[in-house]
Structure 1
Amino acid sequence: MIARRRYRDLKERLLYSEVVELRNAEGNVDELFYRIRLFNTNIKLVRLAESLLRKMGIGSRIYACRQPSVISDPRSRKIYVRRYRTLYHLVISRRENIVKFAGEIGFRIRRKREALENLLRKYNSEPT
């Protein structure tokens, strides 16, 4: 029984560290729409992140959008064709969820951390 609990705790910590790295690599702060977004094409990873955030008391929603299959490089004007995949967005909105995300998880990358701090300042400057 104790071994199972330790295994489950270790598994939770490993999953949490994956979500932390996901937010650093593929997350951003959308100050215009007052939200934090995590992006990935793997729905299992996005659902895992959503469930771990839920366990921490942070509400979020998953949205899906199709990526264009043809993109062009604005500098070289080359056209690239890629597989048509669905991109999943995990969106954290609402003041209490963003404040909790900032306090418990946050971002390691400076520009993302500063954007999150700016968003929190915007929330604090508005009347409730």
Structure 2
Amino acid sequence: MKRAEDDPWILMPLLERYPAEACRGFFDAEGSVNVDCYQIVADNTNPGIIYLFRRLLKELGTDSKIYLCRQGETFISSRTGKAYRYNSEHVVYLTITKEENILRFAEKVSFTIARKQLKLMNLVRKYRKI
């Protein structure tokens, strides 16, 4: 596993066989849905992982953007209220926006975590009402 952490691209041959399932697992672990901002976001401190999953999303026909942001030393989880310390100076965001990309993500990838599924369905409904 250490080799994959250092170079996530060594996993690509396996992940390419099951891109939707790989993306689903990644977004279950690292992703969130922001209904108010019409976006799906995953973040990680390893840019290699973010670029790998961007490529897998592209194979599924879903466009995304990558943003690098400086982060503070600590953050408080909105879910648990606990304070956490970052191990990295930067965090890399993989962001999915635009109706066609969000709808494609919902159709091909989605989430297995119920609270994330619910938020995604709320976002999809917002597009259906427009």
TM-score, normalising length from structure 1?
0.78
How many aligned positions are there? 115
1:46 aligns to what? 50
| Residue 120 of structure 1 pairs with residue 124 of structure 2 | yes
Counterpart-to-counterpart distance in 2, 1:81 and 1:110: 27
Match of 1:21 in 2: 25
Question: Secondary structure at the residue paired with 1:108?
Answer: coil
Identity %: 35
Determine which of 57, 66, 73 is the counterpart of 1:69. 73
Q: Is the 8 A contact 1:68 1:84 kept in 2?
A: no
* Deviation readout 1:7-59 (Å, 9 max, x if unpaired): x8645126654432110011000011100001111100100000111111100
Unaligned runs of 5+ in 1: 1-7, 74-78
Of stretches 13-22 and 105-114 in structure 1, the one that deviates more from structure 2 is 13-22
Select which of 57, 63, 66 maps to 1:59: 63
Letter in 2 for 1:35: Q
Q: Is the 8 A contact 2:24 2:112 kept in 1?
A: no
SS at match of 1:90: strand
Question: Displacement, 1:101?
Answer: 0.3
CA RMSD of aligned residues (A): 2.5
* Per-residue Cα deviation, 1:54-109 (whole angstroms, up to 9, x for no partner): 11110000001112014579xxxxx8765442111100000000000000000000
SS at match of 1:63: strand
Larger Rg: 1 or 2? 1
